[in-house]
Amino acid sequence: SEHALAREAASMYKMGSNKNRQVIRRGLGYYNAIPTLQTVRTLFAAMCTLVLQFYLLFSLHHPPIDDQTNIMNEESATLDHDSFEPLPWSLPKETSSIRYQTSEEFMADYIALKRKHNIPLPWEQDKYKEDKVTLPRPIIGLNFPKSATTTMSKYFKCGGITSCHTYVEDDRIGICMMENHLADKPPMEGCNTERTEDGVIEPVEVIFDIGLQGPPCYYASLHEGGLDNIAKHYPEGTIMLVTRNATKWFKSFTEWRWGELLEEWGQGSCAFDGSLGGEEMEYWNDLYISSESKRQYWIEFYEAHTQKIREFALKHISLTYVEVELENDKMAEQLELYTGVKQSCVQVCHPGPHWIRKHDTTSKCHPPGEEPPEIDPDVENDDGT
């Protein structure tokens, strides 16, 4: 299958130098980004595997001069990911009252806590008044896939700052962040610049869709130490979360790429079914096994993720935390309050090509209430947000 071919490419990852691995990372990133038919993805994966095999064979026998002179230092400094075994992850299994708060309610409590400790709110500080965005950088979005990642990336880009979604230039953000996490480096090191249409290199200020469903699988807000690495290296940065009705999220999540995301998250490369073993995983594995439709499992998983991030924000109040709710009619108004970016920059985005074809449009984002009508109902839905 295409997954087996991709894993074969992944297993070759440890054979090459840093330069070789970058080529493989990009290939795997492009593979994960293809939202086309399964047969096309299979052919693409097979082609990539053959190309990577040839590239590795050639480069191992004929390394560049720079690689030959630095091979020992390079290999000793490179992380060995082996075959991308699932990484340890955690979510709170015991619910707290903050899990079921609305975003508006939680932000009220969070702001009160900051005021209690005399920590100024950036959107109330004079030093940000002349800035395009009234939040400290970097701004790291922790939304799950299908929770307005495209909408938020476009929002900040409309606000006039460099905002990236999924990729920074040619590098997949999730892979870059995973490698930096495992090497105890700043999360965005090596993936913190973007080339503009004019060819100018600018620092990246905002990132969304920062995860990777695999292989390999990595989500900073789920995997052990991911959030801590953000706080350690960006203690005065901003983490952001857009929540969504969990039932609506699950529907959108399962429809994306014919359920492929759900497969990888469950018993695939992420092992978010709790099958990794250990005392902390018992609750999640038992819940996964006992859930006949799995719908309730993933709804609880989603809500526990929100709880985890909220608890983290309360414990790390030097960070700036911003949370809004997608279904809240006041979301655009709240965003403008926190960020200084005008409400009109909030658009409804559907990133999937199927949605674009179904609605006979050239743009994936439209102002609320101005989405084009459905033209071709026979095109399968890939419900993006």
Q: Distance between CA 165 and CA 274 in Å, rounded? A: 28
**364 located within any domain:** no
Write the Ramachandran bin of 59: left for phi over 0, alpha for psi from -120 to 50, otherwise beta: alpha
Strand positions, DSSP E, the chain: 139-141, 163-165, 167-168, 171-172, 193-195, 201-203, 206-208, 238-243, 320-325, 348-349, 365-366
Query: Is the pLDDT at 385 greater than 90, yes or no?
Result: no
> By the 8 A CB rule, do 265 and 258 touch?
no
Residue 255: what pLDDT?
A: 82
Residue 215: what pLDDT?
A: 85
Q: For the domain that residue 199 is a member of, what is the CATH number?
A: 3.40.50
Handedness of CA 92, 226, 323, 311 (dihedral sign): positive
Handedness of CA 215, 166, 285, 288 (dihedral sign): negative
Domain span holding position 144: 103-344
Q: Distance between CA 335 and CA 11 in Å, rounded? A: 43
Residue 250: what pLDDT?
A: 94
pLDDT confidence bin for 170, thresholds 50/70/90: confident
Please state the rounded mean pLDDT for residues 33-46: 52
Please state the φ and ψ torsions of residue 258, each to the nearest 5 degrees: 55, 40
Query: Is the pLDDT at 162 greater than 50, yes or no?
Result: yes
Query: Is the pLDDT at 201 greater than 70, yes or no?
Result: yes
Please state the rounded mean pLDDT for residues 173-180: 96
**259 located within any domain:** yes
Segment among 205-214, 265-274, 350-359 with least mean pLDDT:
350-359
**339 located within any domain:** yes
Residue 354: what pLDDT?
A: 65
**333 located within any domain:** yes
Structural domain count of the chain: 1
Query: Is the pLDDT at 37 greater than 50, yes or no?
Result: no
pLDDT confidence bin for 167, thresholds 50/70/90: very high
Query: Is the pLDDT at 193 greater than 90, yes or no?
Result: yes
Residue 355: what pLDDT?
A: 63
pLDDT confidence bin for 237, thresholds 50/70/90: very high
**57 located within any domain:** no
Convert the pLDDT of each residue in 71-99 to its tens digit: 223 333 344 444 678 999 999 999 999 99
Q: Mean pLDDT, the chain, as a whole number?
A: 81
**283 located within any domain:** yes
**358 located within any domain:** no
pLDDT confidence bin for 144, thresholds 50/70/90: very high
**374 located within any domain:** no
Convert the pLDDT of each residue in 107-142 to its tens digit: 999 999 999 999 999 999 998 888 999 999 999 999
